Chain A
Amino acid sequence: MTDRTMEELMELLDPYLDNFDQIGRSGVSTYRRYPPEFLIEHDARAQASCIYCHMNFEAERLLAGRKGIVPKDIRGLKIWLIGDHSVIRLKRMDEDGHTRNYPTKQARDYDHGVQFPELPPPAARLSVGYFLDPTQTQVIRVQIARPIGKRINWCAAIIPADKQVPGAKRWYDVTRQKGF
């Protein structure tokens, strides 16, 4: 289990942030290009599945073959190993970084940090995902969350490339603050 903080991990992931943002947004925008007569036949689960496929395809296009990035498929759980510090999976999320569906055993083990023989032990298990508006049609933000079991340790939103300020941080903390 890694003991890196959000700041440290986000700094390590900095070269990939624009790619993550693009992956999340393009998954949704590709799905929204489906003819509306098909969209009305999809339920939320079908929508999430379609977007997930488009995100994975975009991830293959942007990340595969890049130095230090290794795609893995652990019994159906598709993940991307980034260096030796992080491992990410692509998800739909709520504003806190929780994933919304009923998790598979692999997904539960992933979130709980259970060791997989294919993964280096110190890599932080992260989720990269999109957070949609209430109509589920527009991306509000793409974010990176650090789940630990059912809890979200931290969650950071990526600032889209066209809204970034040169020299400034390309992400901001959106972790839900605990109540007093």
Chain B
Amino acid sequence: MGQFNHHMLNLARDARGLTQLELATLLRVGQGTLSKYETGIGEPPDECFVSAISNVLGYQESFFFEPGRPYGFPPFHYRKRKKLSGKALGRIVAEMNIRRIHVQKMIVSYEMRPCTLIPEIDRSEYQGSTKRPLNIEDVARTIREMWMLPRGPIPSMVELIEFAGGIVVPCDFGTDHLDAMSQRIDGMPVLFFINKHVPADRLRHTLAHELGHMILHTIFPIDDDAMEDEADAFAGAFLVPADEVTPQLRRFDLRQLANLKSYWKVSMAALAVRADRLNLITPYQKKMFWMEMSRLGYRKREPNEPPPESPRLLKEMVRFHRDKLGYSRSEMAVLFGLMIAEFDQMYGAKDGEPERRGHLRLVK
């Protein structure tokens, strides 16, 4: 094992939603001792202490010796972050980092073959010599063309992102204030962490919104509110192209929106926002729509949810390790620094699935 990584201790504690004092109490040490271990000041902890934190936090001992540093939030999502408590934020960052490490470990052996890529747009270059300001509708149309998407609804946003080389990671953020996060880190596929409790219709829009951030804001971050607005506009334009939806939104009522929802597979709320952005409804219609949505309780959960989209690539990577590379469940758990039960819970190994044993080989 390498050197004790104090960042990983911090990450593990955050992932379990414990404060420093709570963990120190569980470990029966002073908070000062734990604080010094977490900040990396002084001598690293001895084997007994590592064993104790492994037991209390439920991670393999090897987890605390993983090299590297955790990544924080990307520059966007500022508004959403403001709504979250420090504890919830810490938990989400920890979850994202832990899942990123899992992917990092798997792509060492699993060769990804993306059919296309998720581009990054440099605003200054994109504008080119035309001096025409960047137009989100144009960007969305360009991406649809680049990925050769036919007219009409996108059958599966998750599949599309995986097709473009991204990895969608379902996570338990422990809050419904945040639907998804995305990360573009050098040497890694673009990662989209999604809150697995989000309704299917909102998930599609959320993924398109994150895709917007990855395309528009990884090179050139701008003002927080402007980034959110652009990503939202991108999601609408990408999922529901203006030229197709405009004639369909000439009738604007709940009945039509419900039918449009089953066609485009995006929420009625997202369609109303789209109609507003395209100036197809009056401010009065908009106001009445949101009042009606609130009255009916549809702002929390809408009826006629489309079928859920589930990521395939991550499962395939795990399956590749288990079936092709011969990893047992316990070996996979060690690889990820998890206990077997948590590995099963995260990656959906079937209950009662027998532990894979090493094959017998004929030795000559």
Contacts and interface: CB of A to CB of B under 8 A. Distances in A.
- A and B: interacting chains: yes
Interface of A: 36-37, 39-40, 42-44, 47, 133-138
Interface string B258-300: 1110110000100000000000000000000000100010000
A2 B68 CA distance: 86
Contact of A36 (B257, B259, B303): B259
Contacts of B257: 135
A40 B253 CA distance: 12
B154 to A, nearest CB: 14
A44 B254 CA distance: 11
5 contacts: A40-B260, A43-B251, A135-B258, A137-B303, A138-B303
Nearest to A44: B255
Contacts of A39: 259, 262-263
Contacts of B255: 44, 47, 135-137
A142 B318 CA distance: 49
A50 to B, nearest CB: 13
Nearest to B257: A135
Contacts of A135: 254-255, 257-258, 268, 303-304
Contacts of B254: 134-136
B19 interface: no
A36 B265 CA distance: 10
Given A133-B303, A135-B257, A36 B262 contact: yes
Contacts of B142: none
A144 to B, nearest CB: 24
A136 B254 CA distance: 8
B256 interface: yes
B156 interface: no
A40 B303 contact: no
A133 B257 CA distance: 13
Chain B contact residues, majority secondary structure: helix
B263 A36 contact: yes
A40 B248 contact: yes
Contact of A40 (B256, B292, B296, B304): B256
Range of interface residues on chain B? 10 to 19
A134 B255 CA distance: 7
A137 B263 contact: no
A42 B256 CA distance: 9
A175 B292 CA distance: 25
In this complex, the member of A47, A133, A138 whose beta carbon has the largest number of chain B beta carbons within 10 angstroms is: A133
A13 B258 CA distance: 35
B208 to A, nearest CB: 19
Contacts of A36: 259, 262-263
Contacts of B268: 135
User: Which of A44, A47, A135, A136 lies at the interface centre, i.e. has the most chain B CB atoms within 10 A of its CB?
Assistant: A135
Contacts of A136: 254-255, 258
Interface pairs A-B: 9 shortest CB-CB: A135-B258, A36-B263, A136-B255, A39-B259, A36-B262, A40-B259, A137-B258, A135-B254, A134-B254
Contacts of B256: 40
A136 B261 CA distance: 13
A37 B303 contact: no
Interface in B284-339: 292, 296, 303-304
Nearest to B253: A44
A174 to B, nearest CB: 19
B292 A134 contact: yes
Interface in B87-142: none
Given A44-B255, A47-B255, A133-B303, 7 more contacts: A36-B259, A36-B263, A37-B263, A135-B255, A135-B268, A136-B255, A137-B304
B259 to A, nearest CB: 4
A147 B296 CA distance: 29
A36 B259 CA distance: 6
Q: Which of B259, B263, B296 has the most C-beta atoms of chain A within 10 angstroms of its own C-beta?
A: B259
Contacts of A138: 303-304
B249 to A, nearest CB: 10
B201 to A, nearest CB: 13
